[in-house]
Amino acid sequence: MTKKAEKNLETIGWREWVGLPDFGIPSIKAKVDTGARTSSLHAFDVERFSLRGVDMVRFSIHAEQRSRKHPVTVEAPLADRRSVKPSSGEAEVRLVVVTDIEVLGRRFPVELTLTRRDAMGFRMLLGRQALRKRFVVDSGRSFLNGRRVKGTRRIKGRQAGKKS
């Protein structure tokens, strides 16, 4: 990328509040990880199923860091299965969904691999595919997208992303 093109990109910090509107999650804290190719999301109770001939996945999310309260249950089309090599070093096959993400007032589609991130510091990683040609990362700054969306501290349990 040229320096001129780089100057036209918005800057984000090493951690940001992002939204997953299709999942009914107005804000979730994400670590911006340029070392990760694909973005990932903490998901549990993951279940594959078929709906009218379409491969689907149902899963739950704890959007609030260090809390197991108010899980959000999501249903989404299964986009792919992918082998991912996480920081532990051992490859694992993960399910992939595609959904819109909101960052710095911009909304765009992102691929998310689903995995348990209970022991990790962030419920979501924003990988370089989502960042490419959209943002540059300032590793010395945080929350350039602002703070948590007001009123989202407690997300009551619900189902999101359900398509009839």
Q: How far apart are CA 16 and CA 32, in angstroms?
A: 7
Q: Evaluate whether residue 151 is within a structural domain.
A: no
Q: Evaluate whether residue 21 is within a structural domain.
A: yes
Q: Evaluate whether residue 62 is within a structural domain.
A: yes
| CB-neighbour burial class of residue 33 (10 A; exposed 0-12, middle 13-18, buried 19+) | buried
Owning domain of residue 38: 3-136
Residue in the block written with tokens 């809390």: 67
Q: Evaluate whether residue 89 is within a structural domain.
A: yes
**Residues 103-117: pLDDT tens digits?**
998 999 999 999 986
Q: Evaluate whether residue 156 is within a structural domain.
A: no
pLDDT reported for residue 148: 63
> Which structure tokens are listed for 67?
């809390």
pLDDT reported for residue 62: 83
* CA gyration radius, the chain: 16
Q: Evaluate whether residue 94 is within a structural domain.
A: yes
What's the structural domain count of the chain? 1
**Residues 4-38: pLDDT tens digits?**
555 689 999 999 999 999 999 998 999 999 988 99
CATH code for the domain in which residue 118 is found: 2.40.70.10
Q: How far apart are CA 23 and CA 83, in angstroms?
A: 24
Q: pLDDT averaged over the chain?
A: 83
Q: Evaluate whether residue 163 is within a structural domain.
A: no
Q: Evaluate whether residue 150 is within a structural domain.
A: no
